[in-house]
Structure formats: C-alpha cells, structure tokens
A and B are shown apart, each in its own frame.
Chain A
Amino acid sequence: MYQDTIAAIATAMSSSGIGIVRISGPEAFSIGEKIFRPKKTEKKIAEEPAYTLHYGTVWDGEILLDEALLLLMREPHSYTAEDTVEIDCHGGILVVKRVLEAAVKAGARLAEPGEFTKRAFLNGRLDLSQAEAVMDLIEAKNDLALRNSVSQLRGSVQKKIYEIREEILYQTAFIESALDDPEHISLDGYVERLKIIVEKLKAELKKLLLSGENGRILKEGIKTVIVGKPNVGKSSLLNVLVGEERAIVTEIAGTTRDILEEQIQLNGLSLNILDTAGIHFTEDVVEKIGVARAVENLDTADLVLYVVDASVSLTQEDEEIMERLAGRKAVAVLNKSDLDTVVTEEQIRERLSHPIVSISAKEEKGLEGLEAVIEDLFFQGEISFNDEIYITNMRQKRLLEEACGALGMVLESIENHMPEDFFTIDLMNAYGSLGRILGEEVEEDLVNEIFGKFCMGK
C-alpha cells in the first residue's frame, strides 16, 4: 500500500536502557541488512524466518554503533502489517538516535509522528472502535491538536518563522500582482530588492537551523530546576554541571535574568537546568517576585534538584521546600560536604522519600553519584518527558532545511536571470515547508499528525 519505508524510535526514550528502532515498509529488510551485521550467520536478513531474533552489531557505514538484537517480522503479521525489523539497542539514548540516523541514511524515511499507527490503521490493523478513539481524541483537542507541534517550538522561534513566512508570501503576492497588472505594478529594479530580501530570510533560517542543532529551537529535554535557600550553592552546582567537558553549554536568549537556563547532556540525557533565586521569606518586592518564580518553576519541573547547605542547620524555609517536593521527582543534594556538616542524610530521609546525594560543588566531589542517581531515575522511568519532541525536532529541522534550500533556489534563479514568474515556484515551496512546521498547511500528511497525537512512534 505504501511505497516508502519508514523508521523511528519505537520506545519512549525514558522508559528503559533499551531503545528500539523500528523500520517498516517494503525496504525494511534491505535497510536492516545495510546497518546490521549478524554475528553468527552469513544469511541475509530477508531469508531468515519471521519472528526470529538475531544477535549482532549495528553500523553506520564503517562506524560501529552498538551491539544489538534484531527482530524480524513479515507482512502482514506485524503491527503495521508491513515487513518490519526492530533493532534493540543497549547503549543509551544517543546511540539509539544514531541507529535511527543510520537507518535513514540507508534509505528509510523518518516516520512522521504516529505514522506506524496510521499505517496500521490504513492497513486494516485497527478496528473502528480504535479509530473512533482517535476521533474522540481529536474532538477533545480539535483546534489545539494540530497546533501541538507549534507549542513545542519556542515562542521566539515560532514568531520568527511566522515573520519569515509572511515576508515570503508578500513577495510572492507582489510578483503575482505585477504579472496580472503590469500597467500598475512595475517589476523594475525589483529583482535586486528581492535578492537582498531572500538572502536575509535565508540567513535567518540558517540561524534557526544552527540554534536547532544546539537544541535551542525546541523545549527539548528534561526540565530540571535547582532550588534551595540562598547561598546553599545552587549556582556553583549549575556551574560544575555545565563545566563538565562533555556538557554542551548554551545560554538561552530571552529567558529572564533572574532565572538562568542551561542545557547539558548527561550520558545521552538532555537536561534543561534552571537556576532559581533562593527561596526565603522576604518583604522585598523584587525578591518576592524572584521567589514566586522559583516556586512556580519548581511546580512545573520534570526533575527538582533540591540543594541543602550541609554546614548549616535546616530552617523553616527548608521545611516549606520539602513539603513542596512531596509527590515530585526530586533529588536532595547535600552540598558543602567539604566543610563540617551539621545536616545528615538521615535527617533528610526522615522528611523526604527522595534519593539523597552528598557533594562538594566547590571541590567537584560526589558529582558522579549525583549523575548516577539522575540516570537511575531516568532509566527506571521515573522521569517522563515528551518523547515526541525528538522526532518533531528532526522533522522540523528537515522542513527548515527544505525552506532554506528553496530560498537558495530562488537566489539561483535570480543569479541565472530567470524571468520573475519562476521565482514564485520556490518561494511557495519555502512558504509551504514553513507552513508545515506551524501546522498551517493543509495536506495529506495531516492524518499523520492526528495519529501523532493519538499514539507516537509505535
């Protein structure tokens, strides 16, 4: 029924150490063969019987990515009713992503959100009641549903894309009206103007793409908030965490100065860390606002790092913070272990059921322990974050690249002295790609998006 083969990460990225990349479609076996080398047999994957599991290694060209298991399913006996292979990887999220990229390089198309489910549905694997469940879901969201991908974009990025798109539309409309009414709308000197405009728009898209590489474009990652009283070492903790060699540090523009946001990679985990103002009782209006923001962030975080100065006794403020941590994913961090400590892990354990780690941010001691605790939380599925985002990110990146490429074509046309009516073809392509990012283009792929809201990656 479908001509192309799709691939995606089928497991939620938070649920376990194992990640599954699923490839479905007519080329599933041949793509599997290109990236997976079985250990024991020389047989082609396609020749193996259905429902067999194979041990081997996954490769991106000549680069070894991971040890893995490959599961083989034949149409119509798979979730999508198409030929399917699933590759179980062990090496953490980054590796799973790289396996997915290898599959894409080998000829698979990145699945749109929910596309496996869509195929299953269209191939007759879901019944009407399941389909109706999809309808209910849409009904609940209707207007919002398709905007969902937009909500994952940062406001500033979204605004920028809208602006660029508007500009493209304006230029297209100008060319079109000049073609229709040459008497009243002149194209004299227009090409030079257009060239400058398109170069500017293209540069802006490039900038977006570049920031996308650093994860700035999306609210990607686990929202992590560092809280605690003033001067317990919150900022020092942040600094040592981002100071790690492996960490990618980015300061995100547009965030308020009183809350600093950094992004770090931790063994394949992506953490967006917010350092907040110290929580304490105050009558100072400005400080009060800072405290209120800190509390607000605490309440919406995926993970809370509660920092305690172990060299000073707990106070009423600590009690209040700990109360707020009830039922939340949190780690209590006893800082300043290099000094004489008065607060013990036992003392905290009486009040909190969360994991507790002792560190010295100043001497950078105990950090491995903290990272291990966070990883444990993550791999035990205790932190959940939206695994749609990764795919959306790649999809949006691809669309941005398409738009960028289309604008490049416009510049090429200008360079080649093509008549103006040719420009609109590529201008409209750019317009369309950006529209798909914003969910403003109506197209057949929309069904993908609906199913994306219904069920993701499976």
Chain B
Amino acid sequence: MGGEYRESCDVVVVGAGHAGCEAALACARLGLETILFTVSVDSIALMPCNPNIGGTSKGHLVREVDALGGEMGKNIDKTFIQSKMLNLSKGPAVHSLRAQADKAEYSRSMRRTLENTEHLSIVQAEVAKILTEECALSDTISGENSVEEFLKENSGKKKIIGVRTYSGARYDAKAVILCTGTYLRARCIYGDVSNHTGPNGLQAADHLTDSLKELGIEMFRFKTGTPARIDKRSIDFSKMEEQPGDERVIPFSFTTDPESVQIPQVSCWLTYTNERTHEIIRENLDRSPLYSGVIEGTGPRYCPSIEDKVVKFAERNRHQVFIEPEGLYTNEMYVGGMSSSLPEDVQHAMYSSVAGLEHVKIVRNAYAIEYDCINPRQLKPTLEVRGIEGLFSAGQFNGSSGYEEAAAQGLVAGINAARKIFGRSQLLLDRSQAYIGVLIDDLVTKENREPYRMMTSRAEYRLLLRQDNADLRLTKIGYEMGLISKDRYEQLLEKERLIQKETRRVEHVNIGTGPKVQAFLERQESTPLKSGTTLVELIRRPELDYDLLAEIDSDRPELPYGVREQVNINIKYDGYIKRQQKQAEQFQKLEKKRIPENMDYDKVDSLRTEARQKLKEFRPVSIGQASRISGVSPADISVLLVYLESRRRSCGI
C-alpha cells in the first residue's frame, strides 16, 4: 500500500446510534479529540424500531442519563410529539415517563448537537479492524505487584492503538468505543426472504467481527424484530381507543424549562388482535423463519413477536396493539405489539384482521434482524473489554436492547474511556445507585442469552431509584465527571437545601381541629380529626398529599414543583424508604469489598472447581458482584472473604 490515509485522535467511537452519540459527546465534552464513525451520516440517532423514548424503567434510564450530563433527555424534550407519565396509579417508584418522538426530528436534532460540539467530528466509513499492540511493562504496572507477578498476569494483554476502515484509512486513537448496534453481519428476515442489510435496509458492517474474533473476543448472535409501518390514511380510527398525552407534560431533562414542553400533542391509538388474527398466525407458524430454524439468533423474551405471544399465551383471545405516529412529517404509523418475521402475505392477512386495520396499507414490512454482539461477560463493569486496554463497548453490541439502555451504556463507556486516558478512576455505579448500575451489572455478571431489556423488577432498590430523584442521586457524580456545569450543580445544591428546609418545617407544623381543617378534610373525603395532629401525619394519609394540604398550611413558602414533589414523597413514604435504604446498606457492604484486579483464584484452595472457573471467567471487581455469578455459592463467597481479609492482613494494610 502506497498512499495510506492516516489521522490521529484521542477516541474513536464506532457507530452513531444512541450509544455512540452519548459516548462521543461525553468524550468530546471532556475535551478529547473524538471521531464518530457511522456507515451513514443520515442514520445518526436513528430510531429503527419504536417511535418513543422512555416507558417503564426505560424512562428512569433517560432521567439518569440526563442527571449525569447525557443528551438523550434534552433531545427528546426538543422533538417529542406526545408525552405521558405512566403508572400513576402505582407508587412513585414505578412512575415512568414516555414520550412519542418525531423520529426524523429526533435524529436531525441529535445530529445538529453532534455537529456543533467542539472536538467532535463525524466520519462516514465502516471500521473494519481494531488495531492493538502488546502492553508495555510501564503501561499498567501497579504499586504492590512484583514484576514477575505482573508479567504473569499481563502476558498477552493488549492495548488499543487505533482502527482501520474498510477502505484502508488508519485512525490512531488511545481508546475505541464499540457501539455497532445491530449492524455487525446484520441480516433482515421475513418469511423466506433474507437480506444482508442493517436495519431499514442500511448497509451492514460485515468486517469488524473477524477482527474482534482475532483479538480473542467471543461473539454471540442475537435477534430482534420490528413490526410493520402502515399508512395513516388506511386506518379506521373510529374502531380504536384514543390514547392522548398528559395535559401537563413533564420534561425528561432536569434542565428543560417545563413551560417549553407544553405543546400541542398527537394521539396514539389502541386496538386489539382477535381470534382470527391468532388463527392466521397459527396456520402459518411453519412459515416463520423462527420456527423453521432459519433464524439462529436468540430473541428477546420481553419484547416478543406477535407469533411468540400467540404461542406463549395460547389461552388469550386478544393482545393489545398500539398505533403510534412515526412523526409529524409523515403518514407512517408504527404497529406496536405486532412485530413479526412471518412472510409478506401472512403479514397482510394478519394486520388487516385487526379492528380498524381492515383496509390497511403496509408501507414497510415487519422483519426480524440478526446481528453479532459480544458475550458481555468479557467486560468489566466499566464497560472496558478485559485484556484489551482502552477498548470499550456499549449498547446493543453488549447484548442489550432498546435506545435507552444503549444511551446509558454509551454515556458510561464514554466517561470511562475519557477517564482512562486522563488516568483518573473509573465510574462505577452500583445497583443501589442507579438503574444504569443494575443494567451494567446484569450485563457483565449474568449469563444473558437474549437481548437484555431494562425492567423495574430488575432493580432491587427501586424505591430509592425513582425517576423523580435521578438528579439528586446522580448529578453530583456528573459534576465530578465533568459533564455537569457549575451552574447546574449549584442549582442542585439549592434544590437539596430547599427540600431539607421544607421537610423540617413541615415536621413541626401542628394542625388543630378548627372548623377550617375539618371542612377541608371532609371535602377531601378524609376522616375528620378527633384531636390535633401534625401536618406530616396528614400528608401520610393515602387520600391526601403535600400539595393538597397547602390550604390548611398557612405559612407554606412558594416552592418549585421539583422541591414539593420530593418533600411529599420523602414524608409520605418515609418508612418504606428507610427500610429500603437499610436493604441497600446491607447490599453495599459486599459491594465495597473489592477484589484486586490481579486476584489469582488458583491460590484460593478452598474454592469449588465450578466457582473457580466462573470467577476466573467473570473476574468480578467486588465480592458483591462475585456473589451474583451463578455457580458461585454462599460458601465460596465466604472463602473469598476470608482469603481477602487474610491477604489484606498479611500485607499489613
């Protein structure tokens, strides 16, 4: 090769989906020269599946990304066309925000942000090779190890030096973040039709997998799918239930002015499948590539195709179908709940059997997509690939599913890649701090064999991890990481102060049995008072809350919604929150017991063989993480605890 193009930067991000965008923005905002590669600049922040951001537990992730200084929340606030707070009949832990996006606007707006971020450039090219070199002794040697120990541990350890594109250009970099989504050796399938393309017919990335395998990385093949898009003009909405947005919209981002999001909204529509639909599906199951074995990838249990649902819930005579707009610019509507990989003719029959879709015109077929992703147990909880210094990964490449899960990982991978370059400590969020912590811990610790989707049930301490307090949980960390401005940080401190002050005030407000109070209680259908009580006691009554009680709380100061909300929740659910905090503290004890990176499990004689193998494979960073690995028993954990303690003692630390 004579004339090779060569360029140098700090960080290379491969892929410009939701993970890639967050990763690239984080690195660039932290001052690192960052190049974001995409197979198509037109597909930046593409939403190739559902036209919404957030939803149960995913809304939490978006809030957390925002609290740490990510972009997703801000971007959806600018481009949503409908918004809804879900689960309002349940406790505050499961309230979740979901917004319908104008897909094209979402994508364009994110692209604008990227293009106007300093230190960030976008390159349209397919990255085909990861470039590494053997680790030099000076790279990672840590204080307490002898040179011999170091050499033993680091033999074969590699370090990132850059990437090469399919066309041969070389980009030198100190860190590479892989966010390849569903593009690696992607294949789209419906019926017996199979196209070697990425989502939406976009070009697949066929070459990187081999390079990763050469580096010794084990790959999985996963599958996911998407329903058809249909022409709005062919839908009979009179047969469907309208699903309007909330009257008062709450923004995703803690920085968005709540007034700016009170805009006219577009409705979604609810209809149902029926016995006829199910019959059509059952009759044609043998033609489904899933059941005929054409698809080898593992699909998500929690986001099943309609044929999966019909098989799994055979006793059901109907399933929900949500008709959602793809944007204001288009007539295309998304058929939520009916993803499929059945053949074209079956799809037509199946969709048109649904009430209101009798004359449906399909714009784009439903299809399943298969793609390569990493076996994520090769990752550290920092999202760095073990054994390859400077190689990070995020998003569907890590075996997750969903835009929000991707964005959350992208942000963490970006922060950690940057901190690695700066020589700073890595960001680790644990399960009691954030859904992001739960997400990453599950990915790197559990043996997932299907795309991983965030769910509220995965978070053990969810009453602490509410979407309403994401800023209080994480914005200080975001500030330490350098992604939150001083201004925003100080606003947070002020919010904290106001919450504390008002909580203390409320605790000392006594309520007498005067006629005004009794009349108020009667109006609220709350039992009248027999004797005087405190405001706190009244807030705790299920039928009352902090805001309602303003009427009989004459000294109440004027406070912003965010403060009032926290005061209300803190008081109302005080006992539960404290009990959950106790659980979290118990959990943290084991998380804080760190396992040294150079831990030699062969030296721990008492471990059972299975546990030893698992520990060597996963290389957990803490006793807590070790305890969550399947095949590691409580007895093994105690062996580890004693071994680490005695080691610590003998080192005289």
Q: Which residues of A are in contact with B by a Cβ distance under 8 Å? A: 121-122, 124, 127-128, 131-132, 134-135, 138-139, 142-143, 145-146, 176-177, 179-180, 183-184, 409, 413, 416-422, 425-426, 428-429, 432, 439-444, 446-447, 449-450
Q: Is the CB of A429 within 8 A of B579?
A: yes
**Cα(A199)–Cα(B180), bound, Å:** 52
Q: Is the CB of B650 within 8 A of A421?
A: no
- How many residues of B are in contact with the other chain, CB < 8 A? 46
A180 CB contacts on chain B under 8 angstroms: 56, 302, 455-457
Secondary structure class of chain A's binding surface, majority of residues: helix
B575 CB contacts on chain A under 8 angstroms: 409
Give the most central of A122, A143, A421: most B CB within 10 Å. A421
B649 within 8 A of A: yes
**Cα(A177)–Cα(B87), bound, Å:** 14
Shortest CB-to-CB span from B458 to chain A, Å, is: 9
Known contacts A135-B642, A138-B642; is-contact A179 B90 (Cβ 8 Å): yes
B298 within 8 A of A: no
Q: A179-B94, A428-B460, A444-B589 are in contact. List 17 more A-B contacts (CB 8 A).
A: A121-B649, A128-B646, A134-B642, A135-B605, A135-B646, A145-B635, A145-B638, A179-B56, A180-B456, A409-B579, A422-B573, A443-B589, A444-B586, A449-B638, A450-B638, A450-B641, A450-B642
Chain B residue with minimal CB distance to A118?
A: B645
Q: Is the CB of A425 within 8 A of B579?
A: yes
Those 5 A-B pairs whose CB atoms lie nearest each other, nearest first: A176-B457, A131-B646, A444-B589, A139-B606, A419-B91
Q: Is the CB of B649 within 8 A of A138?
A: no
Known contacts A131-B645, A131-B646, A132-B646; is-contact A425 B638 (Cβ 8 Å): no
B637 CB contacts on chain A under 8 angstroms: 442, 446
Q: Which residues of B are in contact with A by a Cβ distance under 8 Å? A: 56, 87, 89-91, 93-94, 302, 313, 316, 319-320, 455-457, 460, 462-463, 542, 573, 575-576, 579-580, 583, 586, 589-590, 593, 605-606, 608, 627, 633-635, 637-639, 641-643, 645-646, 649-650
Q: What are 20 of the A-B contact pairs (CB < 8 Å)?
A: A121-B645, A122-B645, A131-B646, A135-B642, A135-B643, A139-B605, A142-B608, A146-B635, A176-B457, A179-B457, A409-B579, A419-B89, A421-B90, A441-B634, A442-B590, A442-B627, A443-B586, A444-B586, A444-B641, A446-B641
B456 CB contacts on chain A under 8 angstroms: 176, 179-180, 421
Q: Is the CB of A146 within 8 A of B90?
A: no
Q: Is the CB of A446 within 8 A of B634?
A: yes
Q: Is the CB of A447 within 8 A of B642?
A: yes
Shortest CB-to-CB span from A407 to chain B, Å, is: 13
**Cα(A419)–Cα(B462), bound, Å:** 14
**Cα(A418)–Cα(B457), bound, Å:** 18
B643 CB contacts on chain A under 8 angstroms: 135
A409 CB contacts on chain B under 8 angstroms: 575, 579
Shortest CB-to-CB span from B282 to chain A, Å, is: 18
Shortest CB-to-CB span from A132 to chain B, Å, is: 7
**Cα(A429)–Cα(B578), bound, Å:** 12
Shortest CB-to-CB span from A113 to chain B, Å, is: 13
Chain A residue with minimal CB distance to B586?
A: A443
Give the most central of A176, A177, A419, A441: most B CB within 10 Å. A419
**Cα(A121)–Cα(B639), bound, Å:** 15
Q: Is the CB of B580 within 8 A of A447?
A: no
A420 CB contacts on chain B under 8 angstroms: 90
**Cα(A419)–Cα(B87), bound, Å:** 10
Shortest CB-to-CB span from A111 to chain B, Å, is: 18
**Cα(A457)–Cα(B579), bound, Å:** 30
Known contacts A179-B457, A425-B580; is-contact A131 B634 (Cβ 8 Å): no
Shortest CB-to-CB span from B465 to chain A, Å, is: 12
A441 CB contacts on chain B under 8 angstroms: 634
Q: Is the CB of B635 within 8 A of A421?
A: no
B634 CB contacts on chain A under 8 angstroms: 146, 439-442, 446
Chain B residue with minimal CB distance to A453?
A: B638
Shortest CB-to-CB span from B364 to chain A, Å, is: 25
Q: Is the CB of A138 within 8 A of B638?
A: yes
Known contacts A124-B649, A179-B456, A426-B579; is-contact A418 B91 (Cβ 8 Å): yes
A139 CB contacts on chain B under 8 angstroms: 605-606, 639
**Cα(A417)–Cα(B583), bound, Å:** 23
B89 CB contacts on chain A under 8 angstroms: 419
Q: Is the CB of B93 within 8 A of A446?
A: no
Chain A residue with minimal CB distance to B541?
A: A416
Known contacts A176-B457, A180-B456; is-contact A443 B590 (Cβ 8 Å): yes
Q: Is the CB of A142 within 8 A of B635?
A: yes
B93 CB contacts on chain A under 8 angstroms: 421
Shortest CB-to-CB span from B272 to chain A, Å, is: 10
**Cα(A184)–Cα(B317), bound, Å:** 11
**Cα(A128)–Cα(B583), bound, Å:** 33
**Cα(A245)–Cα(B72), bound, Å:** 77
Chain A residue with minimal CB distance to B309?
A: A184
B642 CB contacts on chain A under 8 angstroms: 131, 134-135, 138, 447, 450
A184 CB contacts on chain B under 8 angstroms: 313, 316
Chain B residue with minimal CB distance to A141?
A: B635
B627 CB contacts on chain A under 8 angstroms: 442
